[in-house]
Chain A
Amino acid sequence: MDEKTTLTFDSGLRREVLGFFGKDVNEEGIIVEKTNPNQHVLSTDGQEVREVEFGGIRKGSEVFIKNDLVSLMRLSKQ
């Protein structure tokens, strides 16, 4: 039953949620590792992720999901 219950957050809480996972946002608006700001997090297709593009996180090694139509279309086919 847990798997059927979704956990979501408002777009206004993006930074807080990123903080839950040890991430931060640099001056250019790109999501980075808190402990190593030179390390950018990557999306499912290997691209860096801007805060405004941050759509979610999935299992595994914290794969970051971008919120654009093409990224989500690919995800919907998995």
Chain B
Amino acid sequence: MSWLDKLKALFNIEVNSPLININVTRNSDNSLRGKGYSIDEEKQRLYVNYDGLPEEKKKKLAEIFRDRVESGGEVFEDKTYILLKDLYDYQKNKGEDKKVLDFFAPLIPKDDYEALEASLYLRKKFSERLDVRKLKEDIRRRFGDRGNNISNLCTAGYFEKFLIQLYNYSREDFKEIYEVIVSKSAMAVFVSSQMSDYEITQDLRRKIDLSKKYGLDFVHIHGIGERNILTVRRWIEENKGSLDFLNKEIFEKEGIIIVELLL
């Protein structure tokens, strides 16, 4: 008897259509109201209320989980499965992202490539207005500040709009400049709500110096969200005189601001 047949037998379930998903739940929203299970025939889902099961059924459920894995299957935490399923779809429909990845695959370290791939997916989700904070944190945890820099640079389009051009223009310089940009996050400051004016100034001073050292004649400031947009605007007005730059092209749209400082 298969694991699925055992599970149906456990609850004496007969269903007319195949089940797509069995989800074992804590029933924290009490939607199952003390029942051991519930079927959504339209979604082809069976919900098992773990807390509503007697001990004997819990033991049988545990066996079913083990059978599932031992027979070559997998068991997933439900949010993990949702993300994995979306990633499977992404792999089949990468579109322009595939071109970016194919371009950089032979040029950058393996970890950077993985960070870039994850960042392209994050960017896609960001463009769909989904909450990407956990995804961003996942990249930072795995790849540290370097991964975080790659994520910021990717979201802002630097890989396509600048780094590809840089490689095509000067292959000899690419490696060194790429390293500076990615490891030290030269070329751009990403203003967050946690940054004080002092921190913004220090970061920009450092990047202006780096940019000049490597022949880059600009630094960009990015801000996302109303509060950060106001911070960026105010900072530019207050510092125009003291730091040697001209600000050009304020891009502001849908809660994003980008200012180019010409050096």
Counting chain A CB atoms within 10 Å of each CB, which of B20, B61, B76, B83 scores highest? B76
The chain B residues found within 8 Å of chain A, CB to CB, are 2-4, 18-26, 28, 50, 61-62, 65-66, 68-81, 83-84, 87-88, 90-91, 114-115, 117-118, 121-122, 134-135, 138-139, 141-143
* CB within 8 Å for A68 and B21 given contacts A2-B73, A59-B72: no
Complex Cα–Cα for A6 and B83 (A) = 14
Q: Is the CB of B76 within 8 A of A73?
A: no
Contact of B83 among A1, A11, A67, A74 (CB under 8 A): A67
Q: Which residues of B contact A4 (CB under 8 A)?
A: 18, 20
Q: Is the CB of A69 within 8 A of B80?
A: no
Q: Which residues of B contact A6 (CB under 8 A)?
A: 20-22, 76, 81
Q: Is the CB of B76 within 8 A of A55?
A: yes
Shortest distance between the CB of A7 and any CB in chain B (Å): 5
Complex Cα–Cα for A4 and B143 (A) = 34
Complex Cα–Cα for A56 and B84 (A) = 11
* CB within 8 Å for A73 and B87 given contacts A11-B79, A67-B80: yes
The chain A residues found within 8 Å of chain B, CB to CB, are 1-14, 16-17, 19-21, 54-59, 62, 65, 67-70, 72-77
Shortest distance between the CB of A28 and any CB in chain B (Å): 17
Q: Is the CB of B3 within 8 A of A56?
A: no
Shortest distance between the CB of A34 and any CB in chain B (Å): 13
Q: Which residues of A contact B61 (CB under 8 A)?
A: 20
Q: Which residue of A lies closest to B136 (CB)?
A: A69
Q: A12-B26, A55-B80, A67-B79 are in contact. List 8 more A-B contacts (CB 8 A).
A: A4-B20, A5-B19, A6-B81, A8-B23, A56-B75, A56-B76, A59-B73, A73-B114
Q: Is the interface of B mostly helix, strand, loop or mixed?
A: helix
* CB within 8 Å for A77 and B83 given contacts A7-B68, A14-B77, A68-B142: no
Complex Cα–Cα for A6 and B84 (A) = 12
Q: Is the CB of B142 within 8 A of A70?
A: yes
Complex Cα–Cα for A62 and B68 (A) = 11
Q: Is the CB of A70 within 8 A of B118?
A: yes
Q: Is the CB of B24 within 8 A of A13?
A: yes
Shortest distance between the CB of A21 and any CB in chain B (Å): 7
Complex Cα–Cα for A55 and B81 (A) = 8
* CB within 8 Å for A55 and B138 given contacts A7-B68, A76-B84, A76-B91: no
Q: Is the CB of A20 within 8 A of B62?
A: yes
Contact of A76 among B3, B4, B87 (CB under 8 A): B87
Q: Which residues of B contact A16 (CB under 8 A)?
A: 50
Q: Which residues of A contact B72 (CB under 8 A)?
A: 3, 59
Q: Which residues of B contact A13 (CB under 8 A)?
A: 24-26, 50
